[in-house]
Amino acid sequence: MKLATVAFYGLSLGLLAVGLRELLTGFEENRCSMTYMFEYPEYRRVALPRRVARLYPAYGLYLYGEGVYAQETRALKLTGAPVLFLPGNAGSYKQARSLGSVALRKAENMEAGLHFNVFTVDFNEELVALYGGSLRRQTHFLHESIKAILRLYKHLKTPPQSVVLVGHSMGGVVARALYTLPRFNTNLVSLIITQASPHLAPVLALDPYLLDFYSAVRQKWVSQAKKLRNVTVLSVGGGYRDYQVRSGLTSLPCPPGDPNKLSLVATAVPRTWVSTDHLSIVWCKELVLATVRAFFDLIDPETRQFTENPVKKMAVLNHHFIRHPVRMLGETQDTSISILDFPEAWSEVNTLRLAYSTPKEGQVKYFLFALSSRRKAYSHFYCRSNNLEMTSWVYGCVHKNGSSCVHAVDLSMETELLPPYKVLILSLSDLSSVTHLVVSASNLNGKQFTVECEWQRQASQTLSVPVTHVLSFGLTISDITVNSSGLLHTIVLQHFHQVYQAFRINVASQCKVHKDRLPNVYRIKVPWFREDSLITVSVPSVTEISGMLHTSRPDNTSGVLLQLHTAPNCQYKVSVRTSLPRVLGQILRFCGPMVPVYTAVTLLLACGGQLSSIQKSGRAADMSQVVGKGLQPHKVNLPVFILHILLGCNWFKEVWSLLFLPPMDALPPTFSDATFHEGVVPVEEWPRLLSPLLYLLGAAVAFWGSALLRIIMRLISLILAPLHRPSVSRECGTLQRRTQLLITLSLAVLGGASCGALSLFAAFLLHLYRVLRLQMTERSLSHMLNLAPRKHKEAENGTVDAETLTKSKECNGAPLLSECALQEVRDDLQLHLCLSAVLTLPVMLSAPSLIHWIRNLRYSTQLYPDPCWPHIVPLIIVYMLLINCNTLKLSNSKLLPLTSCLPLPLTIAMVIFSPLHLYRVTYFLLAALVPLALCCLL
């Protein structure tokens, strides 16, 4: 193994490690508060009809309860509004306790006696994100559960007509799949809230059932969007802490203009403002509280059930998840203000800025801002207050009498809640009927707070700075200085609109005069998707902001905005620098599924190189050498790129379709939901441009993975050596033809009767045993001949030079067969080590279905549907035939020249058709291994 090769792949592994570290740990600490149960939680099983229980023995339906409430609902005589929680991939039904407990605690404080009955479904913690065979079964069981829940309310005068669904992870996808069922009544579910659910595409497509399921759900919601407009769906992504399901995948694929579909990230939810990992999004107190508050506002006071009015549902969800105005929904507007008896309560502000702190003693205070003298010079009015009470506070005066306002309209509904204060920005062009603005600073309860307001010229307070190029590697900086004369400044980050860009944004603030100020808020605002992130800092300070995106802007027309809610008379220096580790983390976040494809490409090309070596010299090359040469982007990526260009021509598209070839695979899009038109998914170019880098990372995994395989084989052979008689023949570990046939038939029957992945794993273990026997034989022969250190001249590939070996065999006229046998064993060992690395890939890709079968053994001994059947049969035959394979048979085979040429075209086809369909990797490997197995026979 050359030192340069080791150094090159060591550097490649370092890049991969840096990207993985950034992906898995490069985010803020978990700032979610834990939800706690005040009483012991209980899960009461709900009896289902016998037919349903017989069809779905592994599933169950439960009602959540605590303390007295649990005792009251023992007989399942329910009077609340039904909510059904759906766990996700490997999720427990007990995850509903956070939602159930918080809803129960809040219901105890409600005067009207409103409460919820929180149900939860037990899906047996199935790995549905990796094995899609259970998704359709879960959907049917969910339908039966909803009907069973509604039957529990038949004794009420006004029973609920629908159930609200809360789905976590794949549970949210299953909830939307309900509408694909032919007999599903769409009125049974009118509101779905999903948490970290990958709606756009599966994270990893390891079997065709998963993609078929997604395709059916997507087609239903896009093609029948008009029918489903009354179904309200809210999708919440976890942010950068969730590295399992990136938040871009949680965007709902729906036509533009659908008012009842909302997609957002938890960092943008008012009163939450935190990023959650894939599990904590279920118990994050801030997010659970927002959900429960929305549930109570969705209750119709007359029916005491969830409202069926889609307008009301969207208004409530917008209130709690989008903007959170200070005034509660349904409150009447206070359109008249008149305090004529207290003229001293009114003050007219003639300056450009107001900064007022209320005294400890309670008082009534109003500030008047005349609009007539400001309309031409200013465009907006900005006001903020750290009094976060849910009351109206800014009005537009329509009629003024003396120093007070007689008649006013409430303008507070445009207020936006930020962590330290509430903010209102009014456009003066929209206030044509208003003569004055009125700001209330009354504190009758004696609570102290601060109000700051100013007139603004938005154009002069908006600056632009171009971000550094992604290939600058952090060596260049783009900066800008803001001499704050106002309370709000907006910086447009030009050319920042793609997910592969990542920056370190530093904001340094300093003030000449040190005094108490309201905290500053720095906000990354993304105009095309609700993925804003906020950070609250004091002044002066130096703050680093992570500049990354969950979604791309397809037309590149607008950039990301950095909003600075600043302190007056302070200076802010903003610097932007490309962060290479974060760029690598973003590439792995969005293009990670391509890495295993290129790992398979590298190993398959290494296998082809091994066959070429056997064809030319009759000897197998060292495994590290052939794997090191498996990185060939000029032979793989270049044809793929040329083919992509040709597919842009209409004549080539027609030829492509005439050959009945599937379309080229593309990774899930990074665009937001608004870019989908009638189900057509736009294709992005940048992942193809990054393919050489992804190839490099995949080759690093293949190189060091094969090195790890060699080490493991040596260690296991050392452990097993005392249990086996020493062998000196290359035939060690082989099987007789009759035994091969018997084992092959047995494994095929086993795979058909139980699980195909189990048979494949058993065949793989038999091949590993062959490798172990060769490893033990090689060690035994080396010790016998005392060839450590070896006296013969070695070729560059680690094998004994042919000329030296020939001379050695003819020494003193007597051939030394043991040295020849050692070389033969070493050749076979290198060949089978290379084959083992390739054969490992189908086993790993089929592992999820094997795990699913093992976990469901008590319910069924057969996996249905089985993604490995029936192509598992030729795979088993190939595995068994390759056990007896050796370099002598291959070198004498007439099929070897053809077989050694197959890996390259197959790897090109693998890159074209497998990025989204990872299970296809097994098909291409099988296409390369079948001719190789035939070489052992012909």
pLDDT of res. 330 = 56
Q: Please provide the distance, in angstroms rounded to a whole number, between the alpha carbons at the two ends of the chain.
A: 33
List pLDDT tens digits, range 615-630: 999 899 999 999 999 9
- Rounded to whole angstroms, the Cα distance separating 367 from 737 reads 97
**CA-closest candidate to residue 135, choices 95, 169, 184:** 169
pLDDT of res. 677 = 46
Mean pLDDT of the region 45-59: 95
pLDDT of res. 327 = 59
pLDDT of res. 608 = 95
Q: What are phi and psi of 552, to 5 degrees?
A: -100, 160
What would the two tokens of residue 396 be? 């537009």
Q: What are phi and psi of 190, to 5 degrees?
A: -120, -5
658 CB-contact burial (10 Å; exposed 0-12 / middle 13-18 / buried 19+)? exposed
List pLDDT tens digits, range 855-898: 999 999 999 999 998 889 999 999 999 999 999 999 999 999 99
Mean pLDDT of the region 771-791: 77
List pLDDT tens digits, range 118-129: 999 999 999 999
List pLDDT tens digits, range 5-45: 999 999 999 999 999 999 999 888 889 999 888 889 999 99
Q: Are strands 116-122 and 533-537 parallel, antiparallel or unpaired?
A: unpaired
192 CB-contact burial (10 Å; exposed 0-12 / middle 13-18 / buried 19+)? buried
Angle between helices 580-591 and 691-720 (to 10 degrees): 80
DSSP of 700-717, one letter per residue? Answer: HHHHHHHHHHHHHHHHHH
Cis amide prior to 870 (ω within 30 degrees): yes
**Catalytic residue set:** 169
Whether residue 408 has pLDDT greater than 90: no
CB 512 within 8 A of CB 554: no
- Rounded to whole angstroms, the Cα distance separating 914 from 895 reads 27
> Which residues are CB-neighbours of 595 under 8 A, at least 6 positions away?
588, 694, 697, 698, 701
Give, in degrees to the nearest 5, the angle at Cα 459 between 457 and 464. 140
Mean pLDDT of the region 198-211: 93
- Rounded to whole angstroms, the Cα distance separating 428 from 255 reads 34
**CA-closest candidate to residue 236, choices 198, 289, 292:** 198
- Rounded to whole angstroms, the Cα distance separating 484 from 118 reads 51
Give, in degrees to the nearest 5, the angle at Cα 324 between 433 and 450. 75
> Which residues are CB-neighbours of 28 under 8 A, at least 6 positions away?
240, 241, 275
> Which residues are CB-neighbours of 298 under 8 A, at least 6 positions away?
164, 191, 306, 307, 312, 313, 316
Helix (H, G, I), strand (E, B) or coil at 522: strand
155 CB-contact burial (10 Å; exposed 0-12 / middle 13-18 / buried 19+)? exposed
Cis amide prior to 789 (ω within 30 degrees): yes
User: Which residues make beta-bridge pairs with 122?
Assistant: 60
List pLDDT tens digits, range 264-274: 999 999 999 99
DSSP designation for 932:
H
